[in-house]
Amino acid sequence: MADKSPLSSPQASASALASGSGAAASSLDPAGSISPSIIDVDIFSQLLEMDDDEEDREFSREIVWNYFEQAEVTFAKMDAALAKKDLPELSTLGHFLKGSSAAVGVLKVRDSCENMQHYGKAADKDGVTELSEEEALKKLTSTLRDVKVEYKEAEAALKAFYAEHEEALDGEEDDEEAEEPEENEE
Protein backbone atom coordinates (compact mmCIF):
# COMPACT_ATOMS: atom_id res chain seq x y z
CA MET A 1 0.00 0.00 0.00
CA ALA A 2 1.45 3.36 -1.01
CA ASP A 3 1.93 6.07 1.59
CA LYS A 4 -0.24 9.12 1.25
CA SER A 5 1.40 12.26 -0.04
CA PRO A 6 2.05 14.99 2.51
CA LEU A 7 -0.21 17.08 0.30
CA SER A 8 -3.12 14.69 0.60
CA SER A 9 -4.21 16.52 3.73
CA PRO A 10 -5.28 20.15 3.34
CA GLN A 11 -4.00 20.88 6.83
CA ALA A 12 -0.61 19.33 6.03
CA SER A 13 -0.46 21.32 2.81
CA ALA A 14 -1.30 24.56 4.50
CA SER A 15 0.96 23.78 7.44
CA ALA A 16 3.84 23.19 5.06
CA LEU A 17 2.96 26.49 3.43
CA ALA A 18 2.97 28.34 6.72
CA SER A 19 5.69 26.75 8.77
CA GLY A 20 8.29 25.40 6.42
CA SER A 21 8.86 22.69 9.02
CA GLY A 22 7.82 19.13 9.77
CA ALA A 23 7.57 16.10 7.53
CA ALA A 24 5.26 17.75 5.04
CA ALA A 25 7.46 20.79 4.71
CA SER A 26 10.70 18.85 4.45
CA SER A 27 9.46 17.05 1.37
CA LEU A 28 7.36 19.96 0.23
CA ASP A 29 8.42 23.49 1.10
CA PRO A 30 6.36 25.63 -1.31
CA ALA A 31 8.27 28.89 -1.15
CA GLY A 32 10.56 28.68 1.80
CA SER A 33 9.13 29.52 5.16
CA ILE A 34 6.01 31.52 4.34
CA SER A 35 4.78 33.74 7.11
CA PRO A 36 1.20 33.26 8.26
CA SER A 37 0.99 37.05 7.98
CA ILE A 38 0.85 36.55 4.18
CA ILE A 39 -1.61 33.67 3.91
CA ASP A 40 -4.18 32.78 6.57
CA VAL A 41 -3.50 29.05 6.94
CA ASP A 42 -6.96 28.28 8.35
CA ILE A 43 -8.76 29.94 5.45
CA PHE A 44 -6.41 28.41 2.88
CA SER A 45 -6.94 24.96 4.47
CA GLN A 46 -10.70 25.41 4.12
CA LEU A 47 -10.21 26.27 0.47
CA LEU A 48 -8.07 23.15 -0.04
CA GLU A 49 -10.75 21.02 1.65
CA MET A 50 -13.13 21.94 -1.17
CA ASP A 51 -10.95 20.18 -3.74
CA ASP A 52 -12.68 17.07 -5.09
CA ASP A 53 -9.37 15.62 -6.16
CA GLU A 54 -6.56 16.25 -3.70
CA GLU A 55 -4.04 15.29 -6.34
CA ASP A 56 -4.76 17.96 -8.93
CA ARG A 57 -6.32 20.58 -6.61
CA GLU A 58 -8.26 21.90 -9.63
CA PHE A 59 -11.03 23.62 -7.65
CA SER A 60 -8.82 25.59 -5.26
CA ARG A 61 -6.35 26.39 -8.03
CA GLU A 62 -9.17 27.83 -10.17
CA ILE A 63 -10.38 30.00 -7.28
CA VAL A 64 -6.86 31.28 -6.61
CA TRP A 65 -6.17 31.99 -10.30
CA ASN A 66 -9.53 33.81 -10.60
CA TYR A 67 -8.47 35.87 -7.60
CA PHE A 68 -5.23 36.79 -9.39
CA GLU A 69 -7.22 37.96 -12.43
CA GLN A 70 -9.69 39.93 -10.28
CA ALA A 71 -6.88 41.61 -8.37
CA GLU A 72 -5.08 42.72 -11.54
CA VAL A 73 -8.28 44.14 -13.05
CA THR A 74 -9.16 45.85 -9.77
CA PHE A 75 -5.71 47.41 -9.47
CA ALA A 76 -6.10 48.89 -12.96
CA LYS A 77 -9.49 50.32 -11.97
CA MET A 78 -7.98 51.68 -8.75
CA ASP A 79 -5.23 53.41 -10.73
CA ALA A 80 -7.85 55.01 -12.99
CA ALA A 81 -10.02 56.08 -10.03
CA LEU A 82 -7.00 57.54 -8.25
CA ALA A 83 -6.05 59.50 -11.36
CA LYS A 84 -9.61 60.96 -11.37
CA LYS A 85 -9.47 61.51 -7.58
CA ASP A 86 -12.68 59.45 -7.35
CA LEU A 87 -12.79 58.65 -3.63
CA PRO A 88 -16.14 56.80 -3.64
CA GLU A 89 -14.96 54.51 -6.45
CA LEU A 90 -11.72 53.80 -4.60
CA SER A 91 -13.75 52.91 -1.50
CA THR A 92 -15.96 50.54 -3.52
CA LEU A 93 -12.97 48.89 -5.20
CA GLY A 94 -11.19 48.56 -1.87
CA HIS A 95 -14.27 46.84 -0.45
CA PHE A 96 -14.47 44.48 -3.43
CA LEU A 97 -10.82 43.42 -3.32
CA LYS A 98 -10.94 43.15 0.48
CA GLY A 99 -13.65 40.49 0.17
CA SER A 100 -11.88 38.55 -2.56
CA SER A 101 -8.61 38.63 -0.61
CA ALA A 102 -10.31 37.47 2.58
CA ALA A 103 -11.92 34.52 0.77
CA VAL A 104 -8.49 33.25 -0.36
CA GLY A 105 -6.73 34.13 2.89
CA VAL A 106 -4.50 36.91 1.58
CA LEU A 107 -4.24 38.88 4.80
CA LYS A 108 -2.09 41.92 4.02
CA VAL A 109 -4.04 42.75 0.86
CA ARG A 110 -7.32 42.32 2.76
CA ASP A 111 -6.16 44.70 5.48
CA SER A 112 -4.78 47.30 3.07
CA CYS A 113 -7.98 47.21 1.04
CA GLU A 114 -10.00 47.76 4.18
CA ASN A 115 -7.91 50.87 4.81
CA MET A 116 -8.51 51.99 1.22
CA GLN A 117 -12.22 51.50 1.75
CA HIS A 118 -12.06 53.92 4.70
CA TYR A 119 -9.78 56.42 2.95
CA GLY A 120 -12.19 56.49 0.03
CA LYS A 121 -14.82 57.65 2.48
CA ALA A 122 -12.42 60.37 3.72
CA ALA A 123 -11.91 58.51 7.00
CA ASP A 124 -8.73 57.23 8.58
CA LYS A 125 -7.95 53.54 9.23
CA ASP A 126 -10.30 53.49 12.20
CA GLY A 127 -13.19 54.38 9.89
CA VAL A 128 -14.20 57.25 12.17
CA THR A 129 -11.54 59.97 12.16
CA GLU A 130 -12.25 62.32 9.28
CA LEU A 131 -9.63 63.13 6.65
CA SER A 132 -9.51 65.96 4.17
CA GLU A 133 -9.75 64.94 0.51
CA GLU A 134 -6.05 65.77 0.14
CA GLU A 135 -5.08 63.59 3.13
CA ALA A 136 -7.26 60.75 1.89
CA LEU A 137 -5.74 60.90 -1.60
CA LYS A 138 -2.24 60.92 -0.14
CA LYS A 139 -3.02 57.84 1.97
CA LEU A 140 -4.74 56.13 -0.96
CA THR A 141 -1.73 56.75 -3.18
CA SER A 142 0.74 55.20 -0.75
CA THR A 143 -1.60 52.36 0.24
CA LEU A 144 -2.27 51.44 -3.39
CA ARG A 145 1.47 51.32 -4.04
CA ASP A 146 2.00 49.15 -0.94
CA VAL A 147 -0.94 46.82 -1.58
CA LYS A 148 0.41 45.97 -5.03
CA VAL A 149 3.67 44.85 -3.40
CA GLU A 150 1.76 42.85 -0.79
CA TYR A 151 -0.30 41.25 -3.56
CA LYS A 152 2.82 40.22 -5.52
CA GLU A 153 4.22 38.63 -2.36
CA ALA A 154 1.03 36.61 -1.83
CA GLU A 155 0.77 35.75 -5.53
CA ALA A 156 4.32 34.37 -5.49
CA ALA A 157 3.62 32.33 -2.35
CA LEU A 158 0.43 30.82 -3.74
CA LYS A 159 1.92 30.07 -7.15
CA ALA A 160 4.90 28.44 -5.44
CA PHE A 161 2.52 26.31 -3.35
CA TYR A 162 0.76 24.95 -6.44
CA ALA A 163 4.03 24.51 -8.35
CA GLU A 164 5.53 22.51 -5.46
CA HIS A 165 2.35 20.46 -5.23
CA GLU A 166 2.66 19.55 -8.91
CA GLU A 167 6.34 18.68 -8.49
CA ALA A 168 5.55 16.43 -5.51
CA LEU A 169 2.88 14.62 -7.52
CA ASP A 170 5.28 14.18 -10.44
CA GLY A 171 7.88 12.79 -8.03
CA GLU A 172 5.35 10.32 -6.60
CA GLU A 173 4.47 9.09 -10.09
CA ASP A 174 8.18 8.60 -10.84
CA ASP A 175 8.62 6.72 -7.53
CA GLU A 176 5.63 4.48 -8.26
CA GLU A 177 6.99 3.64 -11.70
CA ALA A 178 10.38 2.80 -10.20
CA GLU A 179 8.76 0.52 -7.60
CA GLU A 180 6.92 -1.57 -10.20
CA PRO A 181 8.59 -4.96 -10.45
CA GLU A 182 10.35 -5.52 -13.71
CA GLU A 183 9.60 -8.64 -15.70
CA ASN A 184 12.01 -11.51 -15.24
CA GLU A 185 15.07 -10.94 -17.35
CA GLU A 186 16.82 -14.12 -18.40
CATH number at residue 15: 1.20.120.160
Nearest-angstrom CA–CA distance, 149 and 99: 18
| Structural domain range at position 77 | 6-159
pLDDT of residue 167: 78
> How many C-alpha atoms does 104 have within 13 Å on its Cβ side?
27
Other beta carbons within 10 angstroms of residue 36's beta carbon come to 15
* Residue 147 falls inside a structural domain: yes
Any domain includes 184: no
Number of domains in the chain: 1
d(CA 128, CA 169): 50
Segment 128-143, tens digit of pLDDT? 999 999 999 999 999 9
Query: Which residue blocks in the chain are alpha helix, DSSP H?
Result: 10-19, 22-27, 41-49, 58-83, 87-104, 107-119, 133-179
Please give the pLDDT value at position 36. Answer: 81
> Looking at residue 180, what is its pLDDT?
56
60-109: pLDDT as tens digits: 999 999 999 999 999 999 999 999 999 999 999 999 999 999 999 999 99
Closest CA to 16 of 157, 186, 176: 157
